[in-house]
Amino acid sequence: MSICSSLARKFPKLTIIGEEDLPFEEVDQELIEDGQWEEILQQPCPSQYSAIKEEDLVVWVDPLDGTKEYTEGLLDNVTVLIGIAYEGKAIAGVINQPYYNYQAGPDAVLGRTIWGVLGLGAFGFQLKEAPAGKHIITTTRSHNNKLVTDCVTAMNPDDVLRVGGAGNKIIQLIEGKASAYVFASPGCKKWDTCAPEVILHAVGGKLTDIHGNALQYNKEVKHMNSAGVLATLRNYDYYASRVPESVKNALVP
């Protein structure tokens, strides 16, 4: 209610698509955020976006990515995702981790916000690559099946991390904890991937479906990423080349 209502009030021509149904009733004023982050607004807008009109943008919102983990108290899996798309392409995104540092003691700063724009960069974290020569796969914790397992096994992994949340998995890639995010199954939605994809692409990574197709984010597109997700910070071609044909045949874009 807070995110979608605040955006709709400030930018009434936006198309906003959220995982939760948008509120029709009048929203409590306490939930409306009308401030802005001046530090970010001082950054130059990439020239290819300077003429964009508000009505040309689609905003994909997942207010709580990693819901199952949230209910189980695995709070470091939880993110808030806001992605912005133009002409079907994800161009800007925010990943907020409300519980970042929640186990780091009373003096630690709780929470952080990672954000990025294509052509400008990604900010709010320290970019780090996974150990060279290691194939560390991050994949689903709560939506496993035979296709997912077959695809992960085909990557010849040194280690497999099973965690919740698409946002969380992309953070593992950009902070060097994992080499590839492999999810060979439907289940992930556009609001799960829009913002994280931007952060990854802004630092030279790549996110596609399991066939290698770019994801589309125009407002008419179906919400399900029915052909899964494959994402890496580096060495995308290695992982893409190892996706079994049987997996590709089972996942229709």
**How buried is 38 (Cβ within 10 angstroms: 0-12 exposed, 13-18 middle, 19+ buried)?**
exposed
Judge whether 28 is annotated as a binding position.
no
Q: Is 149 helix (H, G, I), strand (E, B) or coil?
A: helix
Strands of the 79-86 sheet, one edge to the other: 15-18, 57-65, 79-86, 89-97, 112-117, 121-123
The separation between the first and the last C-alpha atoms of the chain, rounded to the nearest angstrom, is 31
Contact 192, 81 (CB under 8 A): yes
What per-residue string of b and e applies to 44-78 under the rule 16 or more CB within 10 Å gives b?
A: eeeeebeeeeeeebbbbbbbebbbebbeeebebbb
Judge whether 19 is annotated as a binding position.
yes
Six token digits for residue 216: 């589309």
Judge whether 62 is annotated as a binding position.
yes
Judge whether 74 is annotated as a binding position.
no
Judge whether 65 is annotated as a binding position.
yes
Residues placed in the known binding site for Mg(2+): 19, 62, 64-65, 192
Residues placed in the known binding site: 19, 62, 64-65, 192
